[in-house]
Structure 1
């Protein structure tokens, strides 16, 4: 029997087994569902929903096209993606998953990226946001904000390396439907790069043609649909993981991972964190931070970096649901996440002594940060600040690169005699 033919019976058996577990453990099922719903309502909805709407509006107004033209000289040679990918990268890195995938899908719909470019882009712009990395993981789970230094270096540094590696993915030229025709490009405009950028923004706005009210309505509508999908997947995986724990399946996974960790020289007591992180980021990162005190801190940080970079199957399901509306494939994304996770863990071990030295954690008062209205508003403000800094940095880097290239070309045209 082929694997394809086995797929449907296995799926049906899994769903029936899950239903039976829900009947056997109704209390655990209800508690885990409420816990997942609380995470979505208290954390994900206030932190992601505004950025969903903002990104939609910026696309409609052509601001993405403006940034894309300014960042083309940097993004194309480094990552083999158009300059608009720089906007996606900035928004994805400051807002967290699944913003990068959502914006990539939007660029694909507008023929601004090809299939290969979209797969490259979504592979390295899907990351944890800095507010979660600093506030929840470093302060809440590891009880010291200093650990954010090594986690950020490993997680975001690993993401940058994935972007460089993904430039070798795919063909040199391919359209969104997989053919080798050229991607649609805006009409050429003479003048400086800044003039071309504003001309691209104006052209995109004229092509969009929607009124501001219509644009806002559609942005809210599509963002609500996506945030509800995200919430449903968070609740589902919360229930799924709790039911597996109640049924004793997790103990089997712990034992298998214990042997694998021992073989590579890692403490086997980290197996609970890694198995939890396989399914859900928050649970895995919390387990890594709260692992036994006998586990050396660098190993705990490496496990947390692995979990943050892998993203958890809950995030993978969110990305797959977004990519389903396009012809972008999920498999390159999954492979990139696995490589990113391994790279991040390796970078923690490699950079620990240079960055952290003989760092000893100093406890803080709050073991787990509360996400109330005030902290949510502060998180949005911080994300906007991070986004502006990243955009300015990338535009400045692009300008410096253009200047260096112009000087080099002028030198080649006028060699010393």
Structure 2
């Protein structure tokens, strides 16, 4: 009997999909459109250019320009500063992908890679402004506090998270000197390799979005009648979850902190995408999820405080 238990959730999911073909189609369609119209054109170019920078020596330029500043602020190595910049600006799961690529290529240590995951794999400012503030809330006065909370909380928490990874050091070691000789000139072989790697990564991101969109669509109208489902489903996928919270909760004093918390956490779909990016690095996922949940709680608390002051 114990051997059958692990297979029961998959069988249940299969039966649910079998008896709800329209929900499966609608979920897959919405996930595919979200990936094709928004995620692919937004992330793929940055995945490609980050791969070219890591392979073609561009990382050394970024490290030289920003390394000292980010080392002072976040105790990162010069190479690690690139993950902070790209992860903060490009959104999920770019912070995880670049951190993992840096670890795999030996440009940063495993400890620094795990530390970078704790605060630089976040929602992009463009998504926050366009989707959350303008499209969801349609209240421009929420622009500054929303940006400050969602970008400031991870940066502030990094002051505490770094203590688990620095292990008595003041900052992470600089490995750029020993790897400097490996830089190559950009050629078509390098471009082809980076294109293949970036395409594989963005397709996997899309497949996760489609899968979790199906999971959200399957319960259908049942979620409105069951509080447990209504609470769990938005956490599966961030974009759809934000819309679900906005439609279900009309009171801004409730919906605003909930959406801030979900955005800071990123949803389980983003966690799955992150795990996908970490393959071959031995970077653990559980501490990352714990740190994201901590950031989500802090962001929600600040959201409650801001709404009460407002």
Q: Confirm or deny a common fold (TM above 0.5).
A: yes
Q: In the superposition, relative to structure 1, how do residues 349 and 34 fare at CA in structure 2: closer, same or farther (>3 Å)?
A: same
Residue 275 of structure 1, aligned match among 207, 213, 232: 232
Distance 1:344 1:219 in 2: 36
1:68 and 1:83 in contact (8 A); partners too = yes
**1:344 and 2:299 matched:** yes
Report the Cα offset of residue 291 of structure 1: 4.0
Distance 1:322 1:173 in 2: 29
2:258 and 2:300 in contact (8 A); partners too = yes
Count of matched residue pairs:
307
Q: Deviations over 1:375-401 (max 9, x none)?
A: xxxxxxxxxxxxxxxxxxxxxxxxxxx
Where 1:169 maps in the other structure, the secondary structure is: helix
Q: What is residue 87 of structure 1 aligned with on the other side?
A: 82
Max Rg structure = 1
Distance 1:222 1:173 in 2: 36
Distance 1:100 1:239 in 2: 26
Residue 325 of structure 1, aligned match among 280, 303, 307: 280
Distance 1:250 1:298 in 2: 20
Report the Cα offset of residue 349 of structure 1: 2.5
Q: What is residue 288 of structure 1 aligned with on the other side?
A: 245
**1:227 and 2:202 matched:** yes
**1:213 and 2:183 matched:** no
Report the Cα offset of residue 353 of structure 1: 6.2
Distance 2:125 2:176 in 1: 34
Q: In the superposition, relative to structure 1, how do residues 310 and 224 fare at CA in structure 2: closer, same or farther (>3 Å)?
A: same
**1:33 and 2:20 matched:** no
Report the Cα offset of residue 277 of structure 1: 2.9
Where 1:127 maps in the other structure, the secondary structure is: coil
- So what's the TM-score if we normalise by structure 2? 0.90
Spell out the pairing of 1:134-283 with structure 2 (5 A cutoff): 134-170=129-165, 172=167, 184-186=175-177, 204=180, 206-209=181-184, 211-245=186-220, 248=222, 251-252=225-226, 254-255=227-228, 272=230, 274-283=231-240
Residue 269 of structure 2, aligned match among 303, 311, 314: 314
Distance 1:183 1:81 in 2: 9
Where 2:282 maps in the other structure, the secondary structure is: coil
Report the Cα offset of residue 152 of structure 1: 1.0
Distance 2:304 2:24 in 1: 38
Q: Which 5+ residue runs of structure 2 have no aligned equivalent?
A: none
Q: Which 5+ residue runs of structure 1 have no aligned equivalent?
A: 175-181, 188-202, 257-271, 358-417
Distance 2:168 2:302 in 1: 33
Q: In the superposition, relative to structure 1, how do residues 142 and 211 fare at CA in structure 2: closer, same or farther (>3 Å)?
A: closer
